[in-house]
Amino acid sequence: MSFDLAEKLLQSRLIMGTALYPSPQVLSDSIKASGSEVVTIAMKRQNPSGNSGQAFWHYVQASGCHLLPNTAGCRTAKEAVAMARLARELFGTHWIKLEVIGDDYNLQPDPFELLIAAKILCKEGFEVFPYCTEDYVLCRRLLDVGCKILMPWAAPIGSGKGPVNWYGLTVLRQRLQDAILIVDAGIGAPSHACQVMELGYDGVLVNSAVALAQQPVVMADAFSKAVQSGRLAYEAGVMPEREMASPSTPLIDTPFWQQEEKMK
């Protein structure tokens, strides 16, 4: 079950976001319950008077997880590249979850700016995790500029809808067999995570689905089990779907009254 993610050998295929939790303690407990070894993190401008965020940062550091900084809030390649460079300085990692938003209504990625930023950052030695749609051509282009990991959405960020384009996600996985594909955004329930893992996706990133659950720590555990279950099912090989029924119980040597029924 171990998972090689950008040269880090991980036991968990679940990545946890760190936003929207009711408290830093609940976040910390949820990370532990999830078994995740990678957490996402963001940055904000800090004015001298404020010291908010220190408790959160303390808990994240104490978790021992690998950090995956994001470029949330960026709308152009220029902004995202600047944010990524700051993140590398602040967090001491070359991993970057590249987000370039192109639409306010559904927080859909801007594919054009995303590709420009990805190309620049890959050349600068970043390990770029681009947040993208399930569009095959965009994903192909992102791989062409040096990305090895892609993060297609299941649905708009925070919607909890689960996969809205099942066909698109299925075809993407089938056609990009060598890429690391991690579903990001729109996952609402553990069953959604399990479904995409059964398709052969390499991992899942969840945030709102855990943080906004009535019991986030319990939900983190549920997601952990769902991701493991989905992965095991993928490795085991799900049986092919059939249009017609097929008896699971052999009908030879059945009791006499069933034989009589057949004679009629």
Partner 1 sequence: MISIKLNGNTCDIAPHTTLAEFLDTLGYDVMMVAVAINAVIVPKQQYASQQLASGDEVDVVIPMQGG
225 is catalytic: no
Taking a C-beta distance cutoff of 8 angstroms, is the pair 37, 12 a contact? yes
From 7, 89, 104, 243, residue interacting with partner 1 (rule: CB under 8 A): 89
Q: Which of residues 109-168 bind partner 1 (CB under 8 A)?
A: 157
Only one of the segments 30-38, 39-47, 139-147, 248-256 lies at the binding site for partner 1 (rule: CB under 8 A); that segment is 39-47
- Selected binder of partner 1 within 8, 44, 123, 175 (CB under 8 A): 44
DSSP assignment, residue 70? Answer: B
Minimum distance, C-beta of residue 251 to partner 1, in the bound complex (Å) = 53
Residue 45, CA distances (Å) to 42, 74, 264 in order? 11, 14, 82
Strands 8-10 and 3-5: antiparallel
Q: Which helix (H) or strand (E) holds 85?
A: helix 77-91
Place of tokens 């070894």: 37
70: contact with partner 1 by CB under 8 A: yes
- Of 43-51, 141-149, 167-175, 252-260, which part binds partner 1 (CB under 8 A)? 43-51
Give 101-117 as a DSSP string.
Answer: B--TTT--B-HHHHHHH
- Does residue 208 bind partner 1 (CB under 8 A)? yes
Pick the binder of partner 1 from 10, 14, 41, 118 (CB under 8 A): 41
CA-CA distance, 189 to 210, in Å (whole number)? 9
Closest CB to partner 1 among residues 57, 112: 57
Question: Is 7 a binder of partner 1 (CB under 8 A)?
Answer: no
Provide the annotated active-site residues: 97
